[in-house]
Structure 1
Amino acid sequence: MKKTFLIVLFGLLSLYVKGQTPQLLRISENKKHIVNQDNEPFFWLGGTAWEMIHRLNKEEIDLYLTDRASKGFTIIQTVILAELDGLNTPNAYGHKPLIDNNPEKINEKYFELVDYVINKASELGMYIGLLPSWGDKFNLKWGPGPVIFTPENAEKYGELLAKRYLDKTNIIWVLGGDRMPENDYQYNIVMAMAKGIRKIDSLHLMTYHPAGAYKATDSFNVEWLDFDMFQSGHDRSAKEYNYVLKSHQVSPPRPVIEAEARYENIMEKFWEPGEHAWMDDADVRLTAYWTMLSGAAGYTYGCHDIWQMYTIGAEPISKARTGWKEALQLPGSRQMSYMKEILTSFPWQNMVNNQTLILNDNPEDQGYIVSAIGQDNDFIIAYTPMGRAIQLYLSKIHSNKIKAFWYNPRSGESVLINTYSTTEKPIFKPWATGRGSDFLLIILDINSAIQIP
């Protein structure tokens, strides 16, 4: 009975989330965000599904993509030549991606499932951030590899992929895969793959997924890099806002995306010996709002169980503990829907990070308050991760009076606090404090037509 119910439920969800075929994307004229062909801002709400193509069958792919589409996700990041022995362990249908592990000889049967993922995402109105390969195939570093790329075959592989997917409007090319080049040879492999794609394809955006604690522009401040990406990693000491601010200092200017932040349900600093705290939805919300209110063009949610599509009985990577289907319902992904809903209620693409709006003490710890103002000085959004009180420079708003709201990022609900003169300096105190008691303080011009959910 339960199985029948789920089939019906996801059938209805599939109908509900189906939208128009996604348009090709491009960079905005001001180089701060991504837009579609109608010049509408594209809100990058991503999901890491690195092993989706490698480990799931079509029914499971449908389940994952439909769930994410129903929650407002706009792009899914996944890999063709996957990390977890993606070359030598077949996919769910028994097919390996390459013939004799030769990047110039792709296996048509394996790539039919890649095609299926792209087409299914398109049906649901979503994009695929498509990694041609995980980084261990050009810089082993750790993991099974093997290293198979040279500059010569990387270029040919790039050409093959570009020809195959040239007519797909819902692809963004993402090179790299959790690695930075450590010598000229590895650098040249990446450059060659980009060259191979660009020989055929000048339509799709292209970027680079770096290793933890790096930005793409740390190695590739080059013409084919349409927008910057960073991986702040799975560390509560990371200051995600600094990656955004530092990216905006790079010339030429580009939008910047958080491509891999603190995963929900992962052990913090799992690479270090010993037991560590498990990360949760509070970590997800903190990294997301720190990132977006600092001026990023998008944020990618991750869950430790989902990226590897972990199932009971499989070897868990880094102590994965929850099956991926159950992990779909962890609270962090739903709360990303709320983030998208509240931010897209504003002209979010025109927000400007401004820390001088905050008048109270603001130590740079896990309770650090981040604030942004609309470019027309008609709204302020401030995020307090631990419920610390906020005092703002209200006179920055161009009106004589404002209305103030609390927004609860755990539930997607808001409440009007009061109205104030912009000459006042009230102290706004949330009703709860401590870890996980995060809030948005929203200040609007008294005459604003913006509707707070």
Structure 2
Amino acid sequence: MSDKTIVGHAQPALSPLTVSADGRRLVTIQGEPFFYLADTAWTLPQRLKWDDALYYMNKRRMQGFTVIQIVALDPERDVDMRDPAGNSALQGGDLSKPNEAYFQYLDRLVQAAQDMGLYVMLLPVWGQLVVGESWGGSTFPETVTENNAYDFGRWIGARYRDRPHIIWCLGGDRQPIHKGIDYRPVWRRMAEGLANGVTGQNPRWDESSPAWRNLIITYHTCFEMETNEFSTMSYWSDDEAWISLILLQSGHGLMTASYWQVRAEYERSNPMPVLDAEPAYEQMPMNWPQLFPLHGDWIVRKRAYWSVLAGAFGHTYGHASVWCMISEKERNEVLSASWYEALTHPGAEQMTILRDFVESLSFERWVPAQSMVAHNAKCGHTCLDQHRQAALDRNGEFAIVYLTDGGSERVNLAYLSTPDVLGVWFNPRTAETTEPFDVRREPHGNLFEAPTQGPEQDWLLVLATNRDRLLRLSVRRTWANPLPSDDMSMIWAE
């Protein structure tokens, strides 16, 4: 039987990505802006059979997602790392003996994502395979070591060297120094192997090289409870020439002021693009070991708008039932939705609104502008739900203020290029806007009052020097051409 392909609905060819000239964003190699909007689908290669995987990817592209984050070797749900047909990823658990049948299925998934216009952040291995310990405390032999990491990196890099839509990522929910043991040599060797497999060159991890500039690669960490560290750069330094992006894992706790970490990374003397690659998942428990209450869509929106207005080049969404692809039979009191049902939960649908909003307002021109607002953002964990986050167009043509719980805020309009501006309130829950209103600059700042106030009543205030820009906010866009039917037998043919 031949592989199935999309019938008559091929998406535009994906361009390789590179770091922008200012070091703060990803752009296509042609220099076009790229908004990174990812969904967390770590276990997709192991948990979803072919037609379900196609349905999942098609749904996400229709919702405006531009990236899916997946793992090639992930033991978190299945220590034998089997695909839906039962093929183990490794023969006898040996990293030097990858099972071709398993990786052929991963090949098909990677190709399908490309055909649908989705970039893939691909982790070669999950961190558990390096540290030999699960989050539940179970221990295992260390599958990935300093002795075999290079060869596997080279092998998988060569396998996908011609895929322009792959962003490489090491780590996988572990800090590189784990419980006092330094695993950085392992990850460095894997990075060097990837560079050789993808580019054919042999750069060292600490050596400036065209190979590293041509290879988008980063490190996915965890939220370290003991130290509250959650950045790629928590345990790495600028000597690591292989790192081209900074990921945050602000985690699933309720009280993380993630905007401070985004801002700190944005203001580094050696700038790199930064984004929150694993914030609080929708329907994830807020506390451990207590499992309730669960996160709703408000925290999803909070982390998203805080990040992109603080300087992130994109954002990642996650759902507790989707990252591990919970089946209908596996539903329980906590994971009450299957992956299929969870695809249309409010937080996911509101990511469509996020992309529409940022691209309507030329997000590539945003710069953080906290000094515009009077709100004291240094109140830490005592006022997260009252936080305000502001950004400004670099030419002073518009400004955006996110009011986490609505209410009022005083804004200094002196940063805008004209004394008289227009304003509008944008609802990030529904994409509805108020009628534009005229604003004349006041000498001590203008006080604005959102339409509502209180928990889950977040609003975006948009101030612009011309009406056309505000009118763009009311135009909803379709992010991908619809495929002919939800019936996958109609969409995909032999």
**What TM-score do you get using the length of structure 1 for normalisation?**
0.92
Assess if the C-alpha contact under 8 Å between 2:27 and 2:33 holds in 1: yes
Pick one of 75, 80, 85 that aligns with 1:88: 80
Sequence identity percentage = 27
SS of the residue 1:359 aligns to:
coil
Aligned equivalent of 1:436: 456
Q: Does residue 161 of the first structure (1) align with residue 156 of the second (2)?
A: yes
Pick one of 11, 22, 27 that aligns with 1:19: 11
Runs of 4+ in structure 1 deviating by more than 6 angstroms, as ranges, are 14-17
Deviation of residue 274 (structure 1)? 2.9
How has the CA–CA distance of structure 1 residues 315 and 280 changed in structure 2, closer, same or farther, with 3 Å as cutoff? closer
Provide the aligned length of Structure 1 versus Structure 2. Answer: 438
CA deviations on 1:169-198 (whole Å, 9 max, x unpaired) are 110101000001225651111111101001
Assess if the C-alpha contact under 8 Å between 1:17 and 1:69 holds in 2: no
Aligned equivalent of 1:11: none
Aligned equivalent of 1:341: 356
Cα distance in 2 for partners of 1:16, 1:33 equals: 33
Deviation of residue 134 (structure 1)? 0.9
RMSD: 2.1
SS of the residue 1:97 aligns to:
coil
Aligned equivalent of 2:114: 122
Assess if the C-alpha contact under 8 Å between 1:399 and 1:422 holds in 2: no
Q: Which amino acid aligns with 1:37?
A: I
Structure 2: state its 5+ residue gaps.
Answer: 1-5, 199-210, 224-228, 475-494
Pick one of 409, 415, 439 that aligns with 2:434: 415
Q: Does residue 384 of the first structure (1) align with residue 400 of the second (2)?
A: no
Aligned equivalent of 1:70: 62
Q: Which amino acid aligns with 2:322?
A: I
CA deviations on 1:201-236 (whole Å, 9 max, x unpaired) are 244310011012411111223111011001000112
Aligned equivalent of 2:425: 406
Deviation of residue 321 (structure 1)? 2.1
Assess if the C-alpha contact under 8 Å between 1:74 and 1:125 holds in 2: yes
Cα distance in 2 for partners of 1:55, 1:131 equals: 16
Pick one of 174, 180, 194 that aligns with 2:175: 180
Q: Which amino acid aligns with 2:21?
A: E
Deviation of residue 417 (structure 1)? 4.1
Q: Give the number of the structure with larger relative contact order, counting CA–CA contacts within 8 Å between residues 6 or more apart.
A: 2
Q: Which amino acid aligns with 2:473?
A: I
Assess if the C-alpha contact under 8 Å between 2:433 and 2:473 holds in 1: yes
Pick one of 71, 88, 93 that aligns with 1:101: 93
Aligned equivalent of 2:335: 320
SS of the residue 1:305 aligns to:
coil
Cα distance in 1 for partners of 2:450, 2:290 equals: 36
Assess if the C-alpha contact under 8 Å between 1:260 and 1:301 holds in 2: yes
Cα distance in 1 for partners of 2:428, 2:275 equals: 21
CA deviations on 1:309-341 (whole Å, 9 max, x unpaired) are 01133386x932211100111011110111111
Cα distance in 2 for partners of 1:99, 1:44 equals: 35
Structure 1: state its 5+ residue gaps.
Answer: 1-13
SS of the residue 2:399 aligns to:
strand
Cα distance in 2 for partners of 1:192, 1:184 equals: 16
Assess if the C-alpha contact under 8 Å between 1:338 and 1:409 holds in 2: yes
Q: Which moved more, 1:153-162 or 1:352-361?
A: 352-361
Cα distance in 1 for partners of 2:251, 2:9 equals: 31
Assess if the C-alpha contact under 8 Å between 2:375 and 2:388 holds in 1: no
SS of the residue 1:23 aligns to:
coil
Assess if the C-alpha contact under 8 Å between 2:291 and 2:334 holds in 1: no
Assess if the C-alpha contact under 8 Å between 1:244 and 1:295 holds in 2: yes
Q: Which amino acid aligns with 1:324?
A: W
Assess if the C-alpha contact under 8 Å between 1:17 and 1:66 holds in 2: no
Aligned equivalent of 2:258: 240
Pick one of 4, 18, 24 that aligns with 1:32: 24
Q: Which moved more, 1:123-132 or 1:96-105?
A: 96-105
How has the CA–CA distance of structure 1 residues 83 and 319 changed in structure 2, closer, same or farther, with 3 Å as cutoff? farther
**What TM-score do you get using the length of structure 2 for normalisation?**
0.85
Cα distance in 1 for partners of 2:384, 2:362 equals: 29
How has the CA–CA distance of structure 1 residues 85 and 153 changed in structure 2, closer, same or farther, with 3 Å as cutoff? farther
Q: Which amino acid aligns with 2:424?
A: F
Deviation of residue 449 (structure 1)? 4.4
How has the CA–CA distance of structure 1 residues 51 and 18 changed in structure 2, closer, same or farther, with 3 Å as cutoff? same
Assess if the C-alpha contact under 8 Å between 1:71 and 1:337 holds in 2: yes
SS of the residue 2:268 aligns to:
coil
Cα distance in 1 for partners of 2:126, 2:78 equals: 9
CA deviations on 1:337-363 (whole Å, 9 max, x unpaired) are 111111111221221111111135665
Assess if the C-alpha contact under 8 Å between 1:17 and 1:125 holds in 2: no
SS of the residue 1:59 aligns to:
helix
Q: Does residue 359 of the first structure (1) align with residue 374 of the second (2)?
A: yes
